[in-house]
Structure 1
């Protein structure tokens, strides 16, 4: 009967770990889907338009918030607003 008790205990441990893994998986899916729905439902937020590398960890970025667009210069330890961009005109070109 000693072996039967050992197998029974091993199966209980494996079953518990399986249930624990399923709960962790479901919790992870629930949290990630709720965060995704919050970000898509809000409508507000900073969106990155285009990004261009200037080399040496320096970038030009077009950031959008609502209907406003900004040209940002980004370097290590510093973010600077270079210009506020006008909305896109009917021809599809930005006016600076």
Structure 2
């Protein structure tokens, strides 16, 4: 089940995401959406300290990375997908299958 966490400032986004990912159990993760919800980046925690980053926006790709490379990859991806954003929506999701759902507007 997913729920909206909040609108997070772009400056504090990367440490916030890394902190959330440290607390979840595999295969749960975090989804980042632009304010208009037209671009998304999802990061899932996998077993054995691996992470899956799914990018759906300006570019569409999936990357598997270990814990040491996650911060650097996340920084580059945030810069590419949210270049003019000041705030980003953060959702906690329980599995990769939840990416299919759209998040309703209130």
* TM-score past 0.5 threshold: no
Task: Return the structure number with greater helix share.
Answer: 1
Question: What's the TM-score once normalised by structure 1's chain length?
Answer: 0.33
Larger C-alpha radius of gyration, 1 or 2? 1
- The higher relative CO (CA closer than 8 Å, separation ≥ 6) is in 2
